[in-house]
Chain A
Amino acid sequence: AQSVTQPDIHITVSEGASLELRCNYSYGATPYLFWYVQSPGQGLQLLLKYFSGDTLVQGIKGFEAEFKRSQSSFNLRKPSVHWSDAAEYFCAVGAPYGGSQGNLIFGKGTKLSVKP
């Protein structure tokens, strides 16, 4: 069965430091991968997505993610974190069409705190 693992529940980084959030997936075919961000009191917003082609994808707010098939990973990165990046981040993989889990399977999320 398809699954998504985000190994880090909570990460704290200093403002201006680099960030990497980990995501590992289990999927039998070429995955469709997404990163979403949830700011406090808000719904989830799409940061970026990977379907095929270049394995390094750029998203909004200065984020990027790299797909590594050999490691079944899709880690999210940002070179310099801003205080406004404090939020919860969710990795997701596209489920099979018409599957019982609908169209996306989510990881459990990583909460990012930013120190001044």
Chain B
Amino acid sequence: EAQVTQNPRYLITVTGKKLTVTCSQNMNHEYMSWYRQDPGLGLRQIYYSMNVEVTDKGDVPEGYKVSRKEKRNFPLILESPSPNQTSLYFCASSLSAFRGSPLHFGNGTRLTVT
């Protein structure tokens, strides 16, 4: 089944403790992206990647890192999480970065930073 898989689904952590949220897609998609979703703010893009070893900042990249060493994986790294990073995170992928290419989303990771 074609899908984007995120892990974990739920994560509670403390300020400053490094964490990684994994994202994997099995559709051979070139483009991958991370979003955060906050009430009243909708979806905001954190980072995106147009292909292996090519990543770029989205609208809200501060406090986050990503890497794209393989086509299928696009982990999101929070080196020193803070409470304002408490949010619902989505990974998404599409065939390409072409603006007509629909995104396929994972089921989300709800992160709480205390």
| Residues on B with beta carbons closer than 8 Å to the beta carbon of A90 | 42-43
Main secondary structure of the interface of A (DSSP, over half): loop
Contact A44 B102 (CB under 8 A): no
| Residues on A with beta carbons closer than 8 Å to the beta carbon of B33 | 102-103
Please report the C-alpha to C-alpha distance between residue A26 and residue B76 in the assembled complex, in whole angstroms.
31
Q: Give the interface size bracket for B toward A.
A: 20 to 34
With beta carbons under 8 angstroms apart, the residue of B45, B100, B106 that contacts A51 is: B100
Please report the C-alpha to C-alpha distance between residue A33 and residue B59 in the assembled complex, in whole angstroms.
20
With beta carbons under 8 angstroms apart, the residue of A32, A42, A98, A101 that contacts B45 is: A101
Contact B48 A102 (CB under 8 A): yes
Tally of chain A residues near chain B (CB < 8 A): 26
Contact B42 A108 (CB under 8 A): yes
| Residues on A with beta carbons closer than 8 Å to the beta carbon of B101 | 94, 103
| Residues on B with beta carbons closer than 8 Å to the beta carbon of A97 | 97-99
Per-residue interface assignment for chain A, residues 93 to 116, with 1 indicating a CB less than 8 Å from any chain B CB and 0 otherwise = 011111011111011110000000
Contact A42 B107 (CB under 8 A): yes
Q: Residue among B33, B92, B102, B107 with the most chain A CB within 10 A?
A: B102
Any chain A CB within 8 A of the CB of B85?
no
Contact A100 B57 (CB under 8 A): yes
Any chain A CB within 8 A of the CB of B105?
yes
| Residues on A with beta carbons closer than 8 Å to the beta carbon of B50 | 98
| Residues on B with beta carbons closer than 8 Å to the beta carbon of A108 | 40-42
Contact A103 B40 (CB under 8 A): no
Any chain B CB within 8 A of the CB of A80?
no
Whose C-beta in chain B lies nearest to the C-beta of A46?
B102
Contact B97 A98 (CB under 8 A): yes
21 cross-chain CB contacts under 8 A: A34-B102, A41-B108, A42-B107, A43-B90, A43-B92, A43-B107, A44-B43, A44-B90, A44-B92, A44-B103, A44-B105, A46-B103, A94-B98, A94-B100, A100-B57, A102-B33, A103-B33, A103-B97, A103-B98, A103-B103, A106-B42
